[in-house]
Structure 1
Amino acid sequence: MSLRTRLTLLFTAIVSILLALFCGLLYGVAEQYRLREFHARLQAEATTAGHLLLGQERISLNLYKLMDRNQLTVLPDEELIIYNAQNRLVYESGTDYLALTPETLTRIRNEGKVVWREATREIVGILFTDQQRPYIIVASAVDTYGVRTVASLAQLLGIGWCVMTGLMLIAGRFFAGRMLKPISQINQRIDTITATSLSSRLPEGSQGDELTQLARRFNRMLNRLEEAFKLQRSFVSHASHELRTPLTAITGQLEVSLLAEDEPDELRATLRSVLDDVRGLNRMTNGLLELAKASMDASAVPMGPVQLDALLTQIQAKIQQLQPDYTIHLRIDPPDTHASDWQLTGSEALLRTAFFNLLDNGGKFSPDHTVWMQLIRQGTELQVTIHNTGVPIAPDQLPTIFSPFLRGRNANGHTGHGLGLALTERIIQLHQGQIRVDSSAEAGTTFTVSLPG
């Protein structure tokens, strides 16, 4: 069942139920009004009969019967009965429609007024007192006109309910179609969007309603997907190029060695060159694997408590062990802070890789291979700054410095594949942190990493 049909049926059902309740309430009010009016007329008939037959200026019973049979306002099948205090019949209109039991007479005498119904006959019994003598007067009749009027009203309400339900069904389907038309347009546009046409966007409209918000969010998702596809294509293109270059060099050197009758020293030199290419290829492959690992879902990465000050101290010692000509200055500010203040939740192995890359790059691009690193706390965040005074990064390259395989012009003459900073950014983002870079000829280059503490 389509959404349009479900909305139409739901709308029609709700309104039909409410309309049926209203019609039922209207019928009930009309019925109660008919009963009150008819009972009031019966009570008036009984009171009038008491005054004429039992009052001080009474008339004869025969004369009253004659008047009762011939008056224009007589009720349909009307009957009037009067009993004295001893439950003896004093007067009866003669139609003999009603039979009263002693229990009923006792009840009327105790309550003063009793109203009840037998089949279609409405009955009112009252206690009438004349000169300290109590009488019971019972008036009854059939409200033919009132019942017929209320029945006609019920029939009219039923027909009206059926007609309005049909109209609501038609109107509901029409307006549901109008309301869902933008969704149909969105569905048609979505069907045209493929991997080769991610630049297409949904019409957002200007209403500002939920459908407009849905279209805007979908377009933002398409923007992210398009950007991801572009990055993927760029990544594959650069990776293929970077992998093809050393493989081509290795293949060429081996083919030349096989064709030529080189001396052992020349063969060893060729093998050393091939080994260097293989090592570079291995480093790049490891970088790609680390980058893929850092790009996975955060929930798939094991997290635990990490003592950041101790981790940075270990990385400082490791780099100076691997690169003896590097000088790493580490400052923890303030130095007497409790160890728990430098603790965060994360992956120690990934954070080690991220800060190792930053320090290694800082030492590589600094003329004297000197790097300054500082750890401070900024509110609820731990902030690490890594600074060097090497050749600055060009301003037009700062926005793409963290893209894979993209290297700045200041990297000319330095080995690398452009994966270190991309890997570092992925790791920091995986830890819900931020990384930014500021570079100028006067101040040097500074990387600032902020991590939630």
Structure 2
Amino acid sequence: MFFWQKISLKLRLSLLFGLIFTGMLSGFCYILYTQFSKLQIAEFDTSLYNYAVDVAESLDVDKYGDVEFDSNILKLNEKILPFTLKNSFISVMDINGNVIETRPHLHETQISRLNEGIVARVLKNGASFSTMVNEKVPYRVINYLLPVLQKDTPLILQIAVPETDFLVINRNLVKFFYISVPIMLLVSLMIGYFFVGRALRPMMMIIAKTKEIEVTNLEERVPVPQSKGEIWQLADTINHLLSRLNEAFDAQDRFIQDASHQLKTPLAIMKGELEVFISEKRSEAEMTRFLESIAQEINFLTKLTNNLLILARVDSGASNLTFTKNRVDEVALTQVSRLSKLANMKKISLHLDFDSFYQASEDELSIMCDRDLLGVLFYNLIENAIKYSPESSTVTVTGESKEGMLRVRISDEGEGIETADLEKIFSRFHRLQNTATKAQGSGLGLAICKVVADSLGARIYATRNEGPGTSFIFEINQAAFGR
């Protein structure tokens, strides 16, 4: 078992193939040898029986009552027999086993003795076969019932011929098997090793390619065979794993880049203000303005950090999200309530129009989602509308359930967004030139909305209003609610 575990898979499969093939071949050889031996014995006995008939027909009784053998029949050169007559024994005896005549002239103890069983089979069937050993040489013996030869009792012709030729053929066949089976084992191992190598070649290519893939080239993929078998599944699984690893490393890189890009500016501002502040003695009013500026930068850093953590959480995948069943209208109303104070500070009216939702059932308004992230999405959209809307304007939050789609529309009355910029605004750190100086922001709010919507299988997009302002639409297909 230890040896089996240490050898390679290729060699294991080759040995297994060779052993199975050799076992099947050995079984086939055994069956072939057994059937061949049976056929050979049957042919041998048939020839011996025919020879006994010829001998029986040649026997005669002389005027003294003795049985005479035809000298020509003892040679029988005109027939091809599977045995030799040179060392054969022929005897004529009565049913009591008394030898009447024998050729060659031997003592009767050298002839196979009759017993009651043999005599009974001979009398019943006309002949019987048995095997005897004389001087370590096996003989095939036939006891044949002779026709009445002017005798008062039935006579039995007994012929014993050596099985030497028959056994030589069998031994040669066994030798052939002993030599051919190991050779076939070796050949099968070589053939198996070759074909197993060809079968495992795609897997070896996958292993070689996998060893080449490092953190710096995770975008590369292992080769996938054309036939969709087990190796195809292995390659496809590895490629999916590499894709997930690549996404994880990309998310990590994006987080590092985002953090370094966004944190250095407020930190630099705070550092500069501190250096200026401590350079000389300050009045109480200057100290107050300094602390307010530092507090503003700290608030910005806090919000920025929270946004970066939300992006990192979504980018890391569904394993870090908690999906529960939530009503979309309830989540949106919660965020409207949280932002009412900010709207009041700018004298902005928050108008809700959820009439379409009232006609929908609870199941139609509920989706499987991470409630906190969905809340962040609505919070960012509504806050963004308030931030870029003029004072004394209106921000409208509308709910629609129509044609299998659930929509939440947030519309403002601001300056609006140019058509060319409608797709760009969801990119990270993208800020419009005409608004960059009017409101402080990190450029991550809408990017967070986009990644949250993508994680839910939803769609988010922006359109210009016919009048002033822009509308942001969040929509999700009701067929996804059962997830």
TM range (shorter): 0.7 to 0.9
TM-score by length of structure 1 reads 0.78
Q: Which amino acid aligns with 1:35?
A: I
Q: Which amino acid aligns with 1:30?
A: F
Aligned 8 A contact 1:287 1:419 in 2: yes
- 1:48-59 matches, cutoff 5 A: 48-53=54-59
1:376 maps to which residue? 401
Please, which of 107, 116, 125 is the counterpart of residue 102 of structure 1? 116
2:445 maps to which residue? 420
Aligned mates of 2:54, 2:112 — CA distance in 1: 20
Aligned mates of 2:230, 2:359 — CA distance in 1: 54
1:267 and 2:287 equivalent? yes
1:153 maps to which residue? 173
Aligned-pair identity in percent equals 25
Deviation at 1:38, TM superposition (A): 0.8
CA deviations on 1:172-195 (whole Å, 9 max, x unpaired) are 434444554555454444444332
1:329 maps to which residue? 352
Q: Which amino acid aligns with 1:26?
A: L
Aligned mates of 1:356, 1:283 — CA distance in 2: 13
The secondary structure found in structure 2 opposite 1:8 is helix
The secondary structure found in structure 2 opposite 1:196 is helix
Please, which of 459, 474, 481 is the counterpart of residue 447 of structure 1? 474
Aligned mates of 2:432, 2:408 — CA distance in 1: 20
- 1:53-452 matches, cutoff 5 A: 53=59, 62-64=67-69, 66-67=71-72, 69-72=74-77, 75-76=83-84, 77-79=87-89, 93=102, 96-107=110-121, 109=123, 115-118=129-132, 120-124=138-142, 139-181=159-201, 183-198=203-218, 202=222, 222=242, 225-226=245-246, 228-296=248-316, 298-299=318-319, 301-320=321-340, 323-324=343-344, 325-331=348-354, 333=356, 335-365=358-388, 368-374=393-399, 376=401, 383-388=406-411, 391-392=416-417, 398=423, 404-407=428-431, 412=436, 413-428=438-453, 433-441=456-464, 444-450=471-477, 451-452=480-481
Say what the alpha-carbon RMSD is for the aligned residues.
4.2
Q: Which amino acid aligns with 1:449?
A: I
Q: Which amino acid aligns with 2:40?
A: R
1:16 and 2:22 equivalent? yes
Aligned mates of 1:328, 1:121 — CA distance in 2: 118
CA deviations on 1:383-418 (whole Å, 9 max, x unpaired) are 3443436634755773x7655444566863443323
Q: 1:405 to 1:235 in 2, by over 3 A?
A: farther
1:44 maps to which residue? 50
CA deviations on 1:421-452 (whole Å, 9 max, x unpaired) are 4444554555xx31323334367442323443
Deviation at 1:102, TM superposition (A): 0.9
Q: 1:302 to 1:342 in 2, by over 3 A?
A: same
Q: Which moved more, 1:263-272 or 1:14-23?
A: 14-23
Deviation at 1:285, TM superposition (A): 1.6
Aligned 8 A contact 1:437 1:447 in 2: yes
Deviation at 1:148, TM superposition (A): 0.9
Aligned mates of 2:475, 2:311 — CA distance in 1: 20
Aligned mates of 2:122, 2:17 — CA distance in 1: 52
Q: Which moved more, 1:152-161 or 1:196-205?
A: 196-205
Aligned 8 A contact 2:52 2:157 in 1: yes
The secondary structure found in structure 1 opposite 2:215 is coil
Deviation at 1:61, TM superposition (A): 6.4
Q: Which moved more, 1:402-411 or 1:18-27?
A: 402-411
Q: 1:446 to 1:302 in 2, by over 3 A?
A: closer
Q: 1:197 to 1:62 in 2, by over 3 A?
A: same
Count the aligned residue pairs.
442
Q: Which amino acid aligns with 2:26?
A: A
1:7 and 2:13 equivalent? yes
Q: Which moved more, 1:419-428 or 1:249-258?
A: 419-428
Deviation at 1:232, TM superposition (A): 3.2
The secondary structure found in structure 2 opposite 1:386 is strand
Aligned 8 A contact 1:362 1:386 in 2: no
Aligned mates of 2:388, 2:310 — CA distance in 1: 23
Q: 1:279 to 1:118 in 2, by over 3 A?
A: farther
Deviation at 1:281, TM superposition (A): 0.8
2:4 maps to which residue? none
CA deviations on 1:281-311 (whole Å, 9 max, x unpaired) are 1111222333344445645555444344433
Deviation at 1:51, TM superposition (A): 4.8
CA deviations on 1:130-187 (whole Å, 9 max, x unpaired) are 79x9876665433221221122122123222222322333344344445545554544
The secondary structure found in structure 2 opposite 1:261 is coil
Q: 1:438 to 1:293 in 2, by over 3 A?
A: closer
Q: 1:295 to 1:229 in 2, by over 3 A?
A: closer
Aligned mates of 1:411, 1:235 — CA distance in 2: 25
Q: 1:202 to 1:296 in 2, by over 3 A?
A: closer
Q: 1:70 to 1:424 in 2, by over 3 A?
A: same
Q: 1:370 to 1:334 in 2, by over 3 A?
A: closer
Aligned 8 A contact 2:147 2:155 in 1: yes
Structure 2 stretches of 5 or more lacking a match? 1-6
Aligned mates of 1:136, 1:373 — CA distance in 2: 120
Deviation at 1:212, TM superposition (A): 7.0
The secondary structure found in structure 1 opposite 2:473 is strand
